[in-house]
Structure 1
Amino acid sequence: MEEKKSAKLNRRKFLSYSALGLTGLTILPGWVMANGKRIAPSDRVVLGFIGLGRQGISDFNSFTGCPGVQVAACCDVDNLKRIRFKNKVEAWQAGQNIPQRCDMYEFYEDLLERKDIDAVSIASPDHWHALMTIHSCEANKDVYVQKPLAFTIREGLEMVKAVRANNRVLQVGSQQRSSEEFQQAVELVRSGAIGHIESIYVKVGDSPKPLDLPEQPVPSGLNWNLWMGPLNDPAIHYHPDLCPPISINPEKDEQLWGAWRWYRETGNGYTADWGAHMFDIAQAAIGMDGLGPCEFIPKGYNNTEYLTMKYQNGIIMTEQNWRDGGKRGSRGIGFNGTKGWVNVMRGYIESSDPSLLGKKEKEIAEGEYEVSSPHMQNFIDAVRSRKDPIAPVEVGCSTNTLCCLANIATELQRPVKWNPATLSFGDDKEAKAHRLYGYQYRNPYSL
């Protein structure tokens, strides 16, 4: 610890004596052209990136389509991923005719000390989202954080407090909110075009499973202890599927998305990974942003066929295939109303009444949906205007709470009741004690 503190002091001293400093090398003087647009110095947004895996790279690619964005620094627990990201950023900067520099950090706290960084993009594993977001807000940085917002219910609630107490802008990476087909579906439901909504079918996939990967040696260059962070489960050990390796020479990217999301000890399964997208749109359509269901009944309980969520207004939402046909089983949403229905998935929307919008469908290439410049542009616009973006922290919190509650009911194998107004389980002490409501962080971390 003393060694790290000394390094920080030396770095600060160096910057204080540097004629240019970090700002002079990362922010352009005067008016410049960026992506074909003339950008004033006051309108530029300087970003730092935390978490540099496949999702972090995708988010960077999306932000490069936003005029006036600059990248100053990056952070990851894997040295090779830091180098890869730095190379990509500096190649982009060279193409923009701007100074080439992207500083690398192993500890995100060091990145947050940078005064020239306006906002951070966080694409770390979910168990790190809360601490990184809260500390970013306390460092006066705006935040773009990947979905789901948090790993537990309590973390999400604390993130809401941090954003509002520090007057920050936060956008959750639920990019479907910025996608045309989902916006059309939401508008049809909200306008009453298909009548009163009685039920919603949402297909997302399975809840998390116990960690069953064999332990393997930790590769050099990866700080596995730092990857673990606040997680305190002794059953967690390194396996390359949890933190997929890469190489620089020869160049080889990850062969899969981080599998940490599929295991109870490290993630919340498809319930949260895809639920943060699909349940999120369902909530938006029926006006439940910031609220949520009041009862969760797990699949199999008293012969219940599907995971079932009940709202106080009588709407019932189930996790099941949402339409028949060639794409049966595809992740998406079916809204069923008294006057008709609307089905929507990525690249597809259809209604029982073709005159409402007709059938629209297109093929979505693998990874294409992860690059969502409109969603990033919405965040950048919000940073400049100081207004909430399309997926603010309260939205991410309520969707994350829903996903956690669904998993709590599934693991307890019984119904769980929740009061979305008071954010409480009532007298259900077992549910409140569940790790997905909140768990004791590993020392020295604290929430």
Structure 2
Amino acid sequence: MEETSKNQLNRRRFLGLSALGLTGLTVLPSWTMNGIKIAPSDRVVLGYIGCGQQALSDFRGFSSVPGVQVVACCDVDSMKQQRFKKTVEEWQKGQGVSPRCDMYEQYEELLERRDIDAVEVVTPDHWHALQTIHACQAGKDVYVQKPLSFTITEAQKMVRVANDNKRVVQVGSQQRSSGEFQKAIELVQNGAIGHIDKIYAKVGDPPNPLDLPEEPIPGNLNFNLWMGPLNDPKIHYHPDLCPPISLDPPEREKLWGAWRWYLETGNGYTADWGAHMFDIAQAAIGMDGSGPAEIIPKGYNGAEYLTFKYLNGIVMTEQPYLEDMPKAQGIKFIGDKGWIEVARGYLGCSDSSLVPENLAGRRPRNLTPEERKRMYEEMQKAQAKGSGSFEISAPHMENFIDAVRSRQKPIAPIEVGASTAVLCCLGNMATELKRTVKWNPATQSFGEDKEAWNHRLYHYDYRGSYKL
């Protein structure tokens, strides 16, 4: 890939973070939010890397946290930059702050801003590693969307760099901050249903090969920069990968970026929802920072579902947690003394007395067929539009801001995000190899399995001059 000095900052200059020539830094006076006066010393100033619909949803969460200010944004789509800037500045006006949100195409320039304390990385998965690593090296704390990484090696290096630079990193697996999931974890760990034998964790299908036709690249999109380190020659522009928007008249994305569903650009539902449901399952059984030892793909040696086997004997399968709602994402823990079911907005247990009334919700299985259909359709619409996440995301973001101030680990630290991302990669790796993959979670190694070591989901060669 050809790069010019205009489009790529000198690496030594970037990593050195020269204090000279930094102009136009935002100076913020004391201000009040929700009746709370925020002193400059308590303020956390954010920059956004990525300005799509997930960024807008997350901004609603961050903007509700006292003491947070957003001063800059970056995106490879100039129209999305402008939309985000307009959204932020309208909010700033409402808070009595002089409106200013600077726009960038190159994220390295945003990271040079000395007035920015932390960034949110809310870009496609293949960019998470480089942007998070560079942010940590630039002295920024990071809130990075899930899944943490595109490959296993990326996850490992992200952990090392974050810790070496003593940065706070929160992974956007917001179910960690949601009451029904926290209670489910507590019940499992307290032995409420005895010894856990099985876990059903429904997340969805693995990715498929890219089959979208190539289309002309719009002038507002730098698709070459969107590609970044990806080096697969089969990848080309299609609006499903980078959903277009309109500013006049205002029109938002009609779908989530379909890069998630193709193996050249994403890791499918395995990682997209696995970063939520597999994540909670591992937390409940004490496998944060660890993982399975054996991964068996669906259809291999009679396996009905993608299967993860742990050294403690627990078996987790990617299968419906509700038989009559086979596509609904959720988890069922099965112990020798009962069961626990948990999904967004619902917590159930074989012993109903263990479930607080405010967390129970309505058990989907007890809904009428019409109610179940409507609930599922509404969930799918919310996912497609990027809505419906503010209520459960805001506490997760507040936890991150608290951690930035206290310098303590957040509820979903980078080590947790890494172990979950690795699990998701292992699931897709076994599926693609069409055989069992054995993994040592202690040494994070495949032993003598050369095919696994050389798999693209362990590591791939970055394009051009991009280096991990």
Measured in 2, the distance between the counterparts of 1:258 and 1:323 equals: 28
1:401 to 416, 422, 436: 422
Q: What is aligned with 2:138?
A: 139
Question: CA offsets, 1:222-260, max 9 Å, x none?
Answer: 000000000000000000000000010111100000000
Question: For residue 56 of structure 2, what is the amino acid of its counterpart?
Answer: I
Runs of 4+ in 1 over 3 A off after TM superposition: 2-7, 15-18, 362-365
Distance 1:107 1:42 in 2: 29
2:172 paired with 1:173: yes
CA distance in 2, matches of 1:169, 1:67: 19
> Counterpart of 1:411?
432
Whole-angstrom CA distance in 2 between matches of 1:65 and 1:304: 46
Q: What does residue 66 of structure 1 align with?
A: 65
Q: Relative to structure 2, which stretch is displaced further, 53-62 or 80-89? A: 53-62
Structural mapping, 1:40-439, within 5 Å: 40-325=39-324, 327-357=325-355, 360-361=360-361, 366=382, 367-371=387-391, 372-439=393-460
Tell me, what secondary structure is at the counterpart of 1:77? coil
Distance in 2 (alpha carbons) for counterparts of 1:109 and 1:117:
13
One-letter code aligned to 1:375 = H
Tell me the CA shift for residue 3 of structure 1.
4.1
Is 2:6 the partner of 1:22?
Answer: no
- Partner of 2:460, secondary structure, is coil
Q: Read off the aligned partner of 2:454 and give its amino acid letter.
A: A
In 2, Cα distance between equivalents of 1:146 and 1:134: 14
- 1:253-305: CA deviation from partner (whole Å, max 9, x where unpaired): 00000000000000000000000000000000000000010000000001211
1:398 to 1:358, Cα distance in 2 relative to 1, 3 A: same
Q: Deviations for 1:160-216, whole angstroms, at most 9, x for unmatched residues?
A: 011000000000000000001100100000000100100000000000000000000
Please, what TM-score do these two structures have when normalized by structure 1?
0.95
Distance 1:91 1:404 in 2: 40
TM norm structure 2: 0.90
3-state DSSP class of the match of 1:134? helix
Residue 57 of structure 1 and its aligned partner are, at CA, apart by 0.7
For residue 169 of structure 1, what is the amino acid of its counterpart? V
Contact 1:141 1:168 in 2 (8 A): yes
Q: Cα RMSD over matched residues? A: 2.0
Q: 1:328 to 1:210 in 2, by over 3 A?
A: closer
1:363-393 Cα shifts (integer Å, max 9, x gaps):
7862212551100000000000000000000
Q: Distance in 2 between matches of 1:370 and 1:226?
A: 29
Partner Cα distance (1:215, 1:178) in 2: 40
Q: Secondary structure at the match of 1:22?
A: coil
Unaligned 5+ runs, structure 2: 363-374
Counterpart residue number, 1:442: 463
The answer for the alignment partner of 2:367 in structure 1 is none
**Aligned residue pairs: how many?**
438
